[in-house]
């Protein structure tokens, strides 16, 4: 390590005094003007991680669904998965080290993580469309350069595209070609093969309006359009030419406010969807003839995919184990439908994509989605090998055809991470193959009315949870109080959990009516306020 070069470059990316940041599920995220030193240092860390695992590592510059003024950075591990938890700790240490401690912090990571200094390092870089992203990715490159790493800058890409490239590179092309063309070709070929099987059920069905959150999704869908078959008719809105990123639009806005985004003109019963700012989440919605807005969130997406895959798995006649992984935020009706009607096992894990992904890896076919629209499907190596073999060799026509559909599904799904483009194509293919309208999909089950609230507290750490965050352990008396409140309402449940990023406690409630869900959430918020050190005035109904 050239300590003079490190000193010189580090001085070009000074750390603001007194600023401490934490590497969380979403990496680092804050105001863009506070991130220059973090980007430089994550360039350093990516080189260390690459040497430690002797593989290419990814760095994505994005703040996803946050406002345009923010930015962020996350590292991508060799198979396109999120950074290993033990390295999240190193990332935090490195980002917060004072200027004079930087070299010894790097040396400490070298030793603790048993990094082989003599290995080559290779890093893939991508960025979103924020005004600050280009300059910040340049700071990443400085960090890589100082520690002698090689890099490939993909420039403007969606977050899932970068995850995909990293996986392709480290599987020596087994997962696909590590280029944008490779990504477009693999997905569009699988999609085209799938919809060949569909009886063309009216042209109206194929129309889809997409709100791109004024982000990278618009750019990449435009690039991909020539690859799409003529059956797929998409119209892009909020394409970033006029308005600000994520402003009154995007998947997060639509999910939270339960209303259509600005800039998308909806007619009754038209199928619409929204991506978020870096295109790793998607939600669907429509307006019925009475003008009522219907949101189809991640729970319903997981259900549609599960119905489809379960039918196919039954047809190929293999004993492959399928399961759905959810968090406590999944609507109770979706869990009930999956377990009771579809007879698919459902597992609940802590909030955060890494927990869902990890659990889904335990099954032959693991479907996971968060209610916010982030999710994917994982196929075990064994399941994939069986399915591809049946698609080639099976004598029975029906079995072979079902295996071919599954094989195309495997190729269409981005198994590295939730991917709005890939998930949207999966949904469009399933709707076409099953001849379903968006209304029929929505009617599979009815969501229980629910409410999300947050309460400011002096210290979020006073709340400790268990049972995948569905029950509170501390402070004493709070869970008993919640249990008593839940008993007052029909079909109800409620849970509270500390936020991962700020001193607030998040409250979720469900009940038979919206009025009751609201009342329950309010009563639980009062209990949290009084028993967990609420700040400011007590919550008002």
Q: Out of 10, 50, 64, 333, which one is annotated catalytic?
A: 64
- Shortest CA distance to 76 belongs to which of 93, 53, 92? 53
CA dist 80 and 159 (Å) reads 10
Contact between residue 301 and residue 284 where contact means Cβ atoms under 8 Å apart: yes
**Tokens at 354, concatenated:** 């890494």
**Tokens at 284, concatenated:** 């669907």
**Residue positions forming the annotated binding site:** 64, 276, 278, 280, 370-372, 497-501, 506
**Tokens at 333, concatenated:** 């009706």
CA dist 418 and 359 (Å) reads 15
CA dist 501 and 64 (Å) reads 15
**Residue positions forming the annotated binding site for substrate:** 370-372, 497-501, 506
Q: Which residue stretches of 324-437 are H helix?
A: 332-336, 353-360, 381-393, 397-412, 420-434
For strands 493-498 and 375-379, give the pairing: unpaired
- Shortest CA distance to 368 belongs to which of 339, 397, 348, 385? 348
Q: Look up tokens 């599904």; give the residue.
A: 409
Total Cβ atoms within 10 A of residue 33 = 11
**Residue positions forming the annotated binding site for Mg(2+):** 64, 276, 278, 280
Contact between residue 403 and residue 266 where contact means Cβ atoms under 8 Å apart: no
Contact between residue 278 and residue 62 where contact means Cβ atoms under 8 Å apart: yes
CA dist 46 and 39 (Å) reads 10
Helix or strand run (H / E) with residue 233: strand 233-237
Q: Is 333 an annotated catalytic residue?
A: no
Q: Look up tokens 């609420």; give the residue.
A: 534
Residue 498: C-alpha distances to residues 21, 156, 457, 458 (Å): 18, 34, 9, 12
**Cα dihedral sign for 126, 298, 353, 322?**
negative
Residue 203: C-alpha distances to residues 19, 233, 344, 517 (Å): 55, 9, 33, 40
Q: Which residue stretches of 97-204 are H helix?
A: 102-112, 133-146, 159-170, 180-196
- Shortest CA distance to 165 belongs to which of 74, 58, 84, 25? 58
Residue 155: C-alpha distances to residues 125, 138, 502 (Å): 7, 10, 31
Phi then psi dihedrals of residue 123, to 5 deg = -130, 135
Catalytic residues: 64
């Amino acid at each position: 390590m050239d300590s003079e070069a490190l000193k010189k470059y580090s001085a070009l990316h000074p750390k603001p005094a007194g600023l401490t940041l934490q590497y969380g599920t979403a990496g680092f995220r804050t105001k863009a003007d506070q991130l220059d030193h973090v980007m430089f240092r994550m360039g350093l860390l990516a080189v260390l991680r690459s040497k430690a695992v002797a593989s290419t590592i990814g760095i994505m510059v994005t703040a996803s669904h946050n406002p345009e003024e923010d930015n962020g950075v996350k590292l991508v591990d060799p198979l396109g998965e999120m950074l290993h938890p033990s390295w999240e700790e190193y990332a935090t240490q490195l980002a917060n080290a004072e200027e004079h401690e930087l070299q010894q912090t790097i040396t400490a990571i070298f030793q603790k993580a048993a990094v082989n200094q003599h290995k080559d390092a290779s890093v893939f870089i991508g960025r979103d469309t924020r005004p600050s992203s280009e300059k910040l990715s340049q700071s990443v490159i400085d960090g890589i350069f100082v520690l002698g790493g090689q890099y490939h800058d993909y420039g403007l890409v969606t977050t899932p595209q970068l995850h995909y490239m990293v996986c392709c590179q480290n599987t020596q092309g087994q997962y696909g070609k590590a280029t944008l063309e490779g990504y477009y070709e693999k997905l569009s070929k699988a999609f085209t093969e799938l919809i060949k099987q569909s009886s063309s059920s009216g042209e109206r069905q194929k129309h889809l309006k997409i709100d791109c959150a004024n982000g990278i999704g618009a750019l990449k869908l435009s690039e991909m359009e020539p690859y799409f078959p003529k059956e797929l008719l998409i119209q892009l809105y909020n394409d970033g030419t006029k308005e600000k990123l994520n402003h009154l639009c995007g998947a997060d806005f639509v999910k939270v406010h339960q209303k259509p985004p600005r800039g998308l003109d909806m007619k009754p019963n038209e199928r619409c969807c929204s991506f978020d700012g870096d295109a790793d989440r998607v939600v669907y919605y429509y307006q019925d003839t009475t003008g009522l807005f219907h949101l189809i969130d991640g729970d319903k997406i997981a259900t549609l995919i599960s119905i489809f895959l379960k039918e196919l798995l039954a047809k190929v006649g293999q004993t492959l184990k399928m399961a759905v992984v959810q968090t406590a935020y999944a609507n109770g009706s979706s869990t009930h439908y999956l377990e009771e009607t579809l007879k698919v096992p459902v597992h609940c894990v802590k909030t955060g994509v890494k927990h869902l992904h990890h659990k889904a890896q335990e099954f032959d076919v693991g479907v996971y989605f968060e209610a916010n629209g982030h999710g994917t499907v994982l196929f075990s190596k064994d399941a994939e090998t069986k399915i591809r073999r049946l698609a080639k060799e099976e004598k029975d026509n029906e079995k072979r055809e079902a295996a071919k559909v599954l094989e195309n599904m495997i190729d269409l799904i981005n198994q590295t991470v939730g991917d709005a483009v890939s998930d949207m194509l999966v949904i469009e293919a399933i709707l076409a193959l099953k001849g379903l309208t968006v209304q029929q999909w929505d009617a599979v089950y009815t969501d229980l009315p629910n409410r999300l609230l947050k309460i400011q507290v002096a210290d979020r750490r006073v709340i400790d949870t268990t049972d995948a965050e569905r029950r509170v352990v501390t402070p004493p008396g709070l869970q008993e109080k919640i249990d008593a409140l839940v008993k007052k309402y029909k079909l109800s449940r409620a849970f509270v959990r500390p936020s991962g990023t700020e001193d607030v406690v998040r409250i979720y409630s469900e009940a038979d009516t919206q009025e009751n869900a609201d009342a329950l959430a309010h009563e639980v918020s009062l209990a949290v306020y009084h028993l967990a050190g609420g700040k400011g005035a007590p919550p008002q109904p």
